[in-house]
Structure 1
Amino acid sequence: MEHVTKVLSRLSSVLTKYIGMIIICFSVIAFFWRDGFAWTTNYTSIFLGVAMFGMGLTIHIGDFKVVFTRPKEIIIGFIAQYTIMPLIAWGLSVLLHLPTDIALGVILVGCCPGGTASNVITYIAGGDVALSVGMTITSTLAAPVMTPLLVYLLAGAWVQVSFPGMVISVVKVVLIPVLLGILLRRLIGRHIEKLSGILPLISVVSIVMIISGIVAVNAEKIMTSGFLVLCIVILHNLAGMGLGLLAGRIFHVEYDKSTALAIEVGMQNSGLAITLATANFAANPFATLPGAIFSVWHNISGSLFASLRRSGRYKIKEQIAKAEHVI
């Protein structure tokens, strides 16, 4: 049993590190082998719930201390999360005169909390992982109110938005699973700790299944509107990361913390956007497309951004070391 656990832990570590490439590979397979993945769309909310439950299992009660010990960065991150990406999404939709379905999908992505993949990307970038986790927890727990409210305010010009319906959806697929995961870890933490290396695997598999299914079902839409949506997604994501980084500099946030902030703002829980589009906007089938493409792209851009920030971090350390040597 111990040997199996070690093997699964190593597998989980590898899959988590290369989640971007894995998502791309499975998306390509799903695009050409649609029947093999289309069935997963019937369980999108379940897969997302499982991913959120897996996230909850990884959260220590001590992680909440970050919220109180680093209030400045948490507050900056929270405000940036729920202003920058939603407003960019709305701005792109208005300026580019996007079709209703696409505009709705882009706004849904923009109004979602930070994604769990942001914690992994922050780790790769050499950023402040504890802060990243703290921001993800904060934005996720606030999502049942903030996400429906923002979608209601920003997307109301395109479609009729049911605020209560969206609140119920977010509570069911995000809040309850996360809280159950936290509670279970609190009750049987020692047993969960033994499986800590495997837990990310739960979220990775769930996210890959969600995205693959959406790609399979939307293959025709991707062929007709995929390039337009990809361009919008790239603009949205890069602008989010850039402005998140700028916010860190304006408020004089340290390098590793500003790295975490930029990644957290730019990388959304696009699985939630897909789930909300499926559950609440069935009359707008193209609304799932931005979430699906964002899921693939933000892992690519996040990995590239992480490489740049990590190399920059080492350069700063070298400069500090040289300065100390001279002194």
Structure 2
Amino acid sequence: MNIDEVVLNFSPGSMTALNVVIGLIMLGIALDTAPSDFAVVRRAPRAMLLALVAQLVLLPAVTFGLTLALDLQASLALGLILVACCPPGNVSQVLTYRAGGNVALSVSFTAVANVVYIVAMPLSIAFWGGLHPTASAILTEVSLDPLEVLRDVALVIGLPFAVGVGVRARWPRLAARVQRPVRWFSLLALVGFIVAALAGNFSVFVAYIGVVALAVFCHEAVALGVGYGVGRLGGLGPREVKALTFETGIRNAGLGLGLVFAFFGGLGGMAVVAGWWGIWDIIAGLALATAWARWSRSRAGDRSEAAA
């Protein structure tokens, strides 16, 4: 069975539910985003520039090279490219906090990036996917229209984000009360949705989990590494490097999964990649954040003992 020819079963009602969940995720992020968070462009322009370069340029470019190095089938390759072109995931701030990173900067990174990605994401998918020697055929077959993707992305992530920022600015107390429940509910709903989608197509998932797991494992490591490397080479402080690492390494794979069904007809390789990415990046991110926090505390303890 060629995974490039497999189409996963996904009802129109489920597609609507996924869009609602993604919209809630963006609403939850926006309710915790103050207008002042966008001032990071002025307060820390170098950090913001590094974050955008890491996510918009380096991550898709390195992903493109990784798909060639792993010699992946077309739909798997395009799935990785799609995820790399998605905006940062909403758990990046949670992981940054757990690792002891600069949470305020992480929030600002996410706020600015999600606005930029409304326009950048469809253009990036079309550009990098169109360059790929095998995945480009899929884009040709589906006749991907960047403007149509832009319209849908604006409705699914742009509108809820704008509403959330507006509510936060106009009614900050209300936003503070509902922000945490909305974010956690949407996160759990997304994880449950991805698990249900994979379970509903279990035979396809089992048949290709080996190659998909390897590809996603390598891609996640590369994404986190790009963020860490750019932060270190860019001269950011340790806490800022942690924020940039998770901002780059944690992608909104749920949105990617929605795009797979909306524009690529539920193409098997792309859907399994995006679905497994949505699970694995949380697992890998939590593991890294926990280990990083323990390592930082250990180093702080060693310095305290040395000073005594």
* Superposed displacement of residue 54, structure 1: 1.8
Q: State the SS of the aligned residue for 2:138.
A: coil
CA distance in structure 2 between the partners assigned to 1:230 and 1:283 by the alignment: 19
CA distance in structure 1 between the partners assigned to 2:117 and 2:184 by the alignment: 24
1:21 is aligned to: none
CA distance in structure 1 between the partners assigned to 2:266 and 2:259 by the alignment: 12
1:158 is aligned to: 137
Contact 1:169–1:279 at 8 Å: present in 2 too? no
CA distance in structure 1 between the partners assigned to 2:274 and 2:126 by the alignment: 18
* Superposed displacement of residue 158, structure 1: 3.4
Asked whether 1:94 is paired with 2:77, we answer no
Asked whether 1:122 is paired with 2:96, we answer yes
Q: Decide which of 295, 298, 306 is 1:312's aligned counterpart.
A: 295
Contact 2:59–2:226 at 8 Å: present in 1 too? no
Name which of structure 1's ranges 274-283 and 202-211 shifts more when overlaid on structure 2: 202-211
Structure 2 unaligned spans of 5+: 1-8, 131-135
Contact 1:214–1:288 at 8 Å: present in 2 too? no
* Superposed displacement of residue 61, structure 1: 2.1
Contact 1:112–1:147 at 8 Å: present in 2 too? yes
CA distance in structure 2 between the partners assigned to 1:170 and 1:305 by the alignment: 30
CA distance in structure 1 between the partners assigned to 2:92 and 2:101 by the alignment: 11
Q: Structure 2 length normalisation: TM-score?
A: 0.87
2:4 is aligned to: none
Q: Structure 2 counterpart of 1:204, which letter?
A: L
1:146 is aligned to: 120
Contact 2:30–2:111 at 8 Å: present in 1 too? no
Q: Decide which of 7, 21, 45 is 1:71's aligned counterpart.
A: 45
Q: Structure 1 length normalisation: TM-score?
A: 0.82
Q: Please give the per-residue CA displacement for 1:289-313, whole angstroms capped at 9, x wherever unaligned.
A: 1111011111111111112211222
Trace 1:223-302 onto structure 2 (pairs within 5 A): 223-282=206-265, 284-302=267-285
Q: Structure 2 counterpart of 1:91, which letter?
A: G
* Superposed displacement of residue 41, structure 1: 4.2
CA distance in structure 1 between the partners assigned to 2:204 and 2:188 by the alignment: 24
1:131 is aligned to: 105
Q: Structure 2 counterpart of 1:206, which letter?
A: A
Name which of structure 1's ranges 105-114 and 84-93 shifts more when overlaid on structure 2: 84-93
* Superposed displacement of residue 221, structure 1: 1.6
Q: Please give the per-residue CA displacement for 1:96-124, whole angstroms capped at 9, x wherever unaligned.
A: 33222212211110111110011111111
Contact 2:22–2:254 at 8 Å: present in 1 too? yes
Asked whether 1:206 is paired with 2:189, we answer yes
* Superposed displacement of residue 319, structure 1: 4.3
CA distance in structure 2 between the partners assigned to 1:235 and 1:126 by the alignment: 25
Q: Please give the per-residue CA displacement for 1:241-260, whole angstroms capped at 9, x wherever unaligned.
A: 12221211112211111111
CA distance in structure 2 between the partners assigned to 1:206 and 1:176 by the alignment: 20
* Superposed displacement of residue 53, structure 1: 1.4
CA distance in structure 2 between the partners assigned to 1:144 and 1:63 by the alignment: 18
Contact 2:28–2:179 at 8 Å: present in 1 too? no
Structure 1 unaligned spans of 5+: 1-34
* Superposed displacement of residue 81, structure 1: 1.0
CA distance in structure 1 between the partners assigned to 2:177 and 2:76 by the alignment: 44
CA distance in structure 2 between the partners assigned to 1:143 and 1:201 by the alignment: 23
Q: How many residue pairs align between the two structures?
A: 290
| Residues 313/283 of structure 1: CA separation in 2 closer, same or farther (3 Å cut) | closer
CA distance in structure 1 between the partners assigned to 2:137 and 2:251 by the alignment: 22
CA RMSD of aligned residues (A): 2.1
Contact 1:50–1:203 at 8 Å: present in 2 too? yes
CA distance in structure 2 between the partners assigned to 1:272 and 1:260 by the alignment: 21
Q: State the SS of the aligned residue for 2:86.
A: coil
* Superposed displacement of residue 322, structure 1: 4.4
* Superposed displacement of residue 137, structure 1: 1.3
Trace 1:148-187 onto structure 2 (pairs within 5 A): 148-156=122-130, 157-160=136-139, 161-187=144-170
Asked whether 1:110 is paired with 2:89, we answer no
CA distance in structure 2 between the partners assigned to 1:283 and 1:124 by the alignment: 35
